[in-house]
């Protein structure tokens, strides 16, 4: 193999490795699947501004940090684009109670809380209503989740 081909092969391997690690980063930071759609398609603006879990539409789509967000209207999309930090779910959209106890759990988009202007999502199953657990000790779990999130952002 000549030098040119060796260099090109090396670059290709480095790029492939880089792309693979970037693909894993979004799964580490955000509660999304391969579709990279946040909040299972529910509108972050509806949660924060209206206190409602409303499914958005791909017709009103915006991207932030490589993740797609859907909204119910052009106005909601514009609000998000003007100030995405206001609407982003805490802890990458993972279950807040789970983060509080040091683990990442998927969430039910209908189990949420907006507290102090921040959106929190929660696991709900037949065995666990994480939102109710959060409400019982919100201050302690919030402090614990904020501390744990720093560590959990780097783990899968």
pLDDT score recorded for residue 29: 83
Does the structure show a pLDDT above 80 at 78? Answer: yes
Greater pLDDT, 3 or 87:
87
Helices (H) and strands (E) in the chain, counts: 7, 4
Indicate the range of 6-10, 27-31, 49-53 predicted with least confidence. Answer: 6-10
Does the structure show a pLDDT above 60 at 152? Answer: yes
| Average pLDDT value for residue range 116-141 | 93
Greater pLDDT, 72 or 21:
72
pLDDT score recorded for residue 10: 36
Does the structure show a pLDDT above 90 at 22? Answer: no
Instruction: Read off the pTM.
Output: 0.81
| Nearest-angstrom CA–CA distance, 154 and 78 | 31
Return the biggest CA–CA distance within the chain.
67
pLDDT score recorded for residue 108: 95
Does the structure show a pLDDT above 80 at 84? Answer: yes
CA-CA-CA-CA dihedral for 66, 72, 74, 79, to nearest 10? -70
Greater pLDDT, 27 or 70:
70
């Amino acid at each position: 193999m000549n030098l040119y081909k060796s260099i090109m092969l090396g670059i290709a391997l480095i790029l492939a490795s880089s792309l693979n690690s970037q693909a894993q980063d979004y799964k580490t930071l955000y509660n999304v699947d391969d579709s990279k759609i946040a909040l299972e398609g529910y509108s972050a603006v509806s949660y924060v501004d209206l206190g409602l879990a409303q499914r958005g539409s791909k017709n009103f789509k915006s991207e932030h940090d490589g993740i797609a967000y859907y909204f119910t209207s052009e106005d909601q999309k514009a609000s998000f684009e003007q100030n995405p930090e206001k609407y982003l779910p805490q802890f990458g959209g993972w279950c807040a109670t789970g983060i509080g106890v040091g683990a990442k759990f998927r969430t039910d988009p209908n189990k949420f809380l907006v507290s102090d202007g921040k959106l929190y999502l929660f696991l709900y199953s037949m065995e666990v209503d994480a939102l109710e657990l959060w409400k019982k000790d919100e201050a302690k779990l919030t402090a614990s989740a904020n501390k744990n999130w720093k560590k959990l952002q780097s783990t899968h």
